[in-house]
A and B are shown apart, each in its own frame.
Chain A
Amino acid sequence: MSNEIEEQELPGIGRRYRLAGRDGGSAVVVIHHSGRRDLYVMAPDADAPQATLTLTDRQARTLGAVLSGAYFTPAVVEEMEAVIGDILIDWVTLRPDSPGADRSIAELEVRRRTRMTVVAVARDAGTIIAPEPTEVLRAGDRLVVVGRREDLASFTRHVIGAASG
C-alpha cells in the first residue's frame, strides 16, 4: 500500500482507508466484509463527515475506474497506464538524467532490449506518431509505449532510469 494511504482494521466491520486531500480534508473509504463500500468526505479538522455515499461492490469498482481515468484522461496527467487484455499502454516522461535522453530509438535498441514499442513522442514542438528509429529522444519528451505489462519494468530501467527522490 502506498504511503499516501493510511490503512486500518475496523474490528467486526472491515477495513478503513484514509487519503489526505490537498485542502487538508480527507476521503475515507470503508470496505465492509459484505462488500459494501462507504465513502466519506471529511472537512479539515471536522468531527463529522461533510458528505457520505454508500456503494455496492460493483458501483465502487465503476467509480474506481472513473477516478483512475479509465474513461477519460485529462491532458495534465503525466504518467498513466492502461491495460487491455495483456497489452499495456503507458505514458512516461523522460528526465534530463534518463539513460534514453539525447539518444535515438535505434541506438537504444528499445524493441530488442525491452520488447516494448514507442508508438508516439509528445513534445512541445509537436507530437510525432510512430517515430522513426532515428528519432532522438530528449528530456521532457512524453513517450507513449505499448507492450506487455511484465516488460514495462525493463523499459523503464533502460530508457527512463531509476525514479529520482
Chain B
Amino acid sequence: MGETLVAVGGAFLASGLLARLGRRIGLPTIPFFMVAGILFGPATPGLVLVEDPEDLELLAALGLVLLLFHLGLEFSLDDLIGGGRKLLGAGAVYLVLNVGGGLALGFGLGWGTREAFVIAGAVGISSSAIVTKLLVELRRLANPESRLILGIIVVEDIFLALYLAILQPVLGESEGLGEAGLEFGRAFAFLLLLAAIARWGARWVGKLVDASDDELLTVCFVGVALLAAGVAEEVGVSDAIGAFMAGLILAESAAHDRIERLVLPLRDAFAALFFFAFGLTIDPGDVGSVALPVAIAVVVSLLLNLAAGILVARMHDYRRGPAANVGLTILGRGEFSLILATLAAAAGLDDRIGPFVAGYVLVLALAGPLLASRSAAIAHWIPPRLVGETASAARA
C-alpha cells in the first residue's frame, strides 16, 4: 500500500511542480502534466515513480470522467442560441476546416481508417481549458473577437459530444455489418435514454442527489458521474460520453451551480493524474519516430487555424489583428486530443497514435501561447485583401 501511495503522491507532486515551472513563463499546465508522466515513467532513465501505467488506470479514468462530466455540466445550448447564427457559422467554418483537414491528414498518413477518424478529432478539436485561460491571461476578454473565440469553443464542445457518441461504435472491432449495426443501435439507444433523462427526468435525478450540505451532494454527484460512465462503457459507448451525459442531466437540476463549484477541485486533481498517466505510456523514442507526421500536422493546423481566423474575420468585418487573434488563440490543443488518444489505445488502434498525439499536443501547447501573444506581429503577414481590408486602411 505504501508503495502505491508513494507512486500516486509522487505523480501528483511531480505534475504540480513541473507545471508550476511552466506557469512562470506563461505556458499551459496540461503538457507539463504529460511531460511529468514521461519523465517519471518507465520509458525514460532516472526515477521511475510508476512502473506500469495500468497501476494508475482507475485514478486516470476518474480524471477523464470528471473532465467530461464538468464539460457536460457547463454545456449550455442557450449560449449557442444567444450567440445567433453568426456564432454557429464561425464554429462551423472552424470545424469544417480543422476536422476536415485532420481527417485528410489521417488518411494521408495511411495508418488505417479508424485511425484517421481519431486523428481527425485529435487534430481538429481545440482545448477549451487552454484557450479560455489564454484569453484571460493575454487580457483579451474585452476584444470583440474574444466572444467569437469562446463561441467557437462552445460549438466545438457540441461537436465533441456528437463525435464521442459515434466514435466508440466506429472504433469497436465488430465482425461484419450486422454486428456493427447492432452495436451502433445499442449505443444509440443508450444515448437516447440518457438524453431523455436529461430532457424530462433531470428534475428527479437532481432531487435524488441534491442534499443540502456540500458533503453529501459531492458524494452523490460523483456517484452519478461514475455510474453513467461505467454503464456507458459496458454497453459499448465510451465512458467519456456517459460522463458527459451525466453532467448534462445534472446541469438541468437546481443544484447545478453548487455542483459546478464542488466538482472543480476534484476535476483538477484527477485530470492532472489522467494526463500524467497518459505520459507514462509515451516513450520519447517513439515520438521521435513520428516526428515527421507531427511536424506536418502542426504546420497543417497552423495554416488551417489562420485560414479559419481569416474566414471568420471576413464574416464579421474584422481586420487582420482580430483575424490573427482568432486563428492563433484557438490553436491550443490539450485535453480532448489526449482523451481521444487514450480511447484509441483502449480500442487497440495503431500504437503510433499515442506518441503522435503526445508530440502534437506538446508542440502546439508550447507554440500556441507564444504565437498567440505575438499575434499582432503575425497579423502583418496576412495579406490585407484577404480580410477585405484596403491597402491604405492597412497602412493607417
Contacts and interface: CB of A to CB of B under 8 A. Distances in A.
Q: Do A and B bind each other?
A: yes
Interface of A: 8-13, 16, 18, 28, 30, 32, 38, 40, 42, 47-49, 52
Contacts of B20: none
A16 B79 contact: no
Contact of A47 (B79, B136, B147, B322): B322
B139 interface: yes
A42 B79 contact: no
A1 to B, nearest CB: 15
A12 B139 contact: no
Contacts of A9: 79, 82
A111 B376 CA distance: 63
Contact of B142 (A11, A12, A32, A49): A49
B322 A10 contact: no
B141 A47 contact: no
Contacts of B139: 38, 40, 49, 52
Contacts of A40: 139, 141-142
B155 to A, nearest CB: 10
Q: Which of B74, B132, B141 has the most CB of A within 10 A?
A: B141
Contacts of A8: 147
Q: Which of B142, B319, B376 has the most CB of A within 10 A?
A: B142
26 contacts: A8-B147, A9-B82, A10-B141, A10-B146, A10-B147, A10-B150, A12-B150, A13-B141, A16-B142, A16-B147, A28-B142, A30-B142, A38-B136, A38-B139, A38-B142, A40-B139, A40-B142, A47-B143, A47-B319, A47-B322, A48-B140, A48-B143, A48-B321, A48-B376, A52-B139, A52-B142
A11 B321 contact: no
Band of interface residues on B: 20 to 34
B132 A12 contact: yes
Interface of B: 74, 76, 79, 82-83, 128, 132, 135-136, 139-143, 146-147, 150-151, 153-154, 319, 321-322, 325, 376
Contacts, number: 57
Contacts of B74: 12
A38 B76 contact: no
Contact of A11 (B79, B140, B325, B376): B79
Shortest Cβ-Cβ A-B pairs, 6 listed = A40-B142, A28-B142, A47-B321, A11-B79, A30-B141, A52-B139
A47 B144 CA distance: 9
A12 B322 CA distance: 20
A16 B143 contact: no
Nearest to A49: B142
Given A38-B141, A52-B139, A13 B132 contact: yes
Contacts of B319: 47
Contacts of A49: 139, 142-143
A12 B128 contact: yes
B68 to A, nearest CB: 15
Contacts of B154: 11-12
B161 to A, nearest CB: 15
A1 B60 CA distance: 45
Contacts of A52: 139, 142
Contacts of B132: 12-13
B141 A11 contact: no
